[in-house]
Amino acid sequence: MADLFTTPAARSAQTSFWPLWIMKLLGALTLGIAVLLIYLPALNAPFIFDDTSTIFGNSSIRRLWPLVDFHERSGPLTPPPGVPTAARPIVNLTLALNYHVGETNPAGYRAVNMFVHWLAGLLLWAIVYKTLCLEYFGGRFSRVAGGLSFAAALLWVVHPLQTESVAYVTQRTESLMGLCFLATFYASLRYWEASSRGSRGVWLSLATLACLLGMLSKEVMITVLAVLLLYERTFLTGSFTKAIRDSWPLYLGLGCGAAALFVTLASGPPTPETGFGGATPAAAWWSTQCKIFFLYAKLTFWPWPLAIHYELPYLDTVTKAWPWVLSFALFVLASSALAWKKTAVGFVGVWILAVLSPTLIVPLPNEMAAERRMYVPLAAIAPFVVVSVYSLVGWIVQKLSPSGSALNSERTANRASAALVTTLVILLTALSMERMTYYQDELALFLDVIRTQPDNYVARVNIGTLLLEHGRGPEALEQFDQALIIKPDSVRARFNRAKLLVDLGRPQEALDEYRETVRLDPRAVEARYNYALVLESMGQSAAAIDQYFEIVELDTDYAAAHTNLAIALARLGKMPMAIEHFERALAITPDVESYANLAAIYQHVGRRDEAIETIQKGIALARSEGKYALATELEQRLQTYGR
């Protein structure tokens, strides 16, 4: 199969005024400069959105060893459920390395994201170059394969749709998966062109490894198998049967990576509320995703306005849905027909559909659309655009100057297409740089969302939360109220509104809001805990105790709920139950005050030895935490227990 990769015309065209290695170095530097130009100004921008749970709420990145800890779910390769890197251990490991070097400094995390994006651009450059030199194209692009492939990679690197995958730290899941996707693709190309058994073995191993790493970075990587099989059938073998017969070791290796993905997903999906059977009917989701598909297409060719979060009305009736469903069906049919005929255009269309298919099919109610999902599809669109521009300009030049020499016409076409692509790259770079200004301030990022999506309740809740952090309570309350007008059953909006009402000195309204919150989501333990605190502050101890019991039943490791429940029970004279919950709280989280309270109860019920032992533990902990005055007070109490 090696002779299909470089035509004689391509080999003869691989000489230029500059040595090849210098051309490659200059190209790599140019891609790197483009990445720096766009993303360096936002290097120290604050963490945003899900970064809070990914970085600050993710205990598994706090240490590098042991790599795997299934019991505590605290090793870098065993992230806990509920965080965005759950079931994505490779990304979690890279975040742990970031934390080990710079802890919570955002610059290090974004520098890694930028490096990943640059490497992916280099791989795309190589993939497109090798593809354009295939015998499939009959030498049509051999002379310009280097320039076209570099232009495609540069266009892909600077596109504004890529900004979310690079600047938003949590979306390293997307960019790292994209890097592995392209690395698998490149290694497979080298496997197909290898002429020796040893070389094929090396590239087979590298393709398998890249695929495995990608599967453990994000589940969309599963689509690489279909894309590679279609590529081989379209450009190399002409049939699926021959492709599988010739390359079965490759697909077997990639299949092993897919098996690893299913093993990691057994611990639960990384995105909560994913899948069928939820509040969103499958038909409404599929119909709406048909419209979302064309939103992606629009943002690809007209990337404005962009948004960190998209919330659009569901197409839940036939009248609303049929134009979009019909249009999408026509695109699918056209792409399938062209792919069946082994055309490059058909391959591009199926690539896009295949990579987007997981989110087009499986409902993700909290993320109707996301710019990052175009990270890998753009890797097919950018080369298609560059080659189309070149071909169209060449055709126009040929029509306008039929009597001119072929060499002059080619030069004119090359210069004109280069000028057009350069202009496009400059415009997209400027848009990406402008987009980066919003990442400097998370509040500005979400205020930008509601300018174009005033009914985006998620954006309004986030704006309210950020305003609250800035001490702008009345404005925050207005945003929460607007969010609840849009979506009355928003648990997060009600929870945040209730907390704000407590701060504003309106406990009765807060109580009503918390009551509604736990009605909407009975498993919301944080809301129940705050609800219980408000009940206690208003003298409703019995109701508060009921809430604490509900909390510790839902989450047996909620130490604060155990502590508060123990205190409340002790006040009622229910000492055995109070002891039980104090002991449970201390087993979860050792706390000086809890040691002191438990020792007092032990003393009260005549368990003097246990009281002395417990208060000694409290004294030792107080001294280790620098609470010397409290330690002295406990020592005085210890003397009393001794007497």
What are the angstrom distances between the C-alpha of 272 and each of 61, 82, 269, 359?
Answer: 20, 7, 7, 14
Residue of 552, 578, 556 lying closest to 567 (CA atoms): 578
pLDDT above 90 coverage of the chain, percent: 71
Return the top range by mean pLDDT from 284-293, 557-566, 628-637: 284-293
Mean of pLDDT values over 412-423: 91
Q: What pLDDT does residue 14 have? A: 47
**Letter for the amino acid at 321?**
A
pLDDT band for 68, please (50, 70, 90 cuts): confident
Q: What pLDDT does residue 403 have? A: 60
Mean of pLDDT values over 210-234: 96
pLDDT band for 9, please (50, 70, 90 cuts): very low
Residue of 510, 504, 447 lying closest to 479 (CA atoms): 447
Mean of pLDDT values over 429-445: 95
- Which has more pLDDT, 211 or 398? 211
pLDDT value at 12 more than 60: no
> If phi over 0 gives left and psi between -120 and 50 gives alpha, with beta otherwise, what is residue 606?
left
Q: Which CATH class is domain 454-544?
A: mainly alpha
Residue of 449, 444, 456, 448 lying closest to 487 (CA atoms): 456
Residue of 227, 125, 212 lying closest to 176 (CA atoms): 212
pLDDT band for 72, please (50, 70, 90 cuts): low
Q: Which CATH class is domain 556-643?
A: mainly alpha
Residue of 125, 162, 175 lying closest to 38 (CA atoms): 162
Burial of 400 (0-12, 13-18, 19+ CB in 10 A): exposed
Q: What pLDDT does residue 13 have? A: 46
Residue of 182, 524, 223 lying closest to 359 (CA atoms): 223
pLDDT value at 295 more than 80: yes
pLDDT value at 46 more than 50: yes
Give residue for tokens 């792919």: 339
pLDDT tens across 503-553, in order?
999 999 999 999 999 999 999 999 999 999 999 999 899 999 999 999 999
pLDDT tens across 571-593, in order?
888 999 988 998 898 888 888 88
Q: What pLDDT does residue 15 have? A: 46
pLDDT above 70 coverage of the chain, percent: 94
Is 454-544's fold the same as 556-643's?
Answer: yes
> Using an 8 Å Cβ cutoff, are 571 and 587 in contact?
no
**Where is average pLDDT lowest: 177-186, 314-323, 614-623?**
614-623
Domains of the chain by residue range: 2-47+104-267+284-433, 454-544, 556-643
> Using an 8 Å Cβ cutoff, are 554 and 589 in contact?
no
Mean of pLDDT values over 57-82: 85
Neighbouring C-alpha atoms within 13 Å toward the C-beta of 610: 13
The number of residues in the chain equals 643
Mean of pLDDT values over 37-59: 93
pLDDT value at 268 more than 70: no
pLDDT value at 497 more than 50: yes
Q: What sign does the dihedral 361-363-364-367 (CA atoms) show?
A: positive
Mean of pLDDT values over 340-356: 97
Q: What pLDDT does residue 592 have? A: 87
pTM score of the predicted model: 0.90
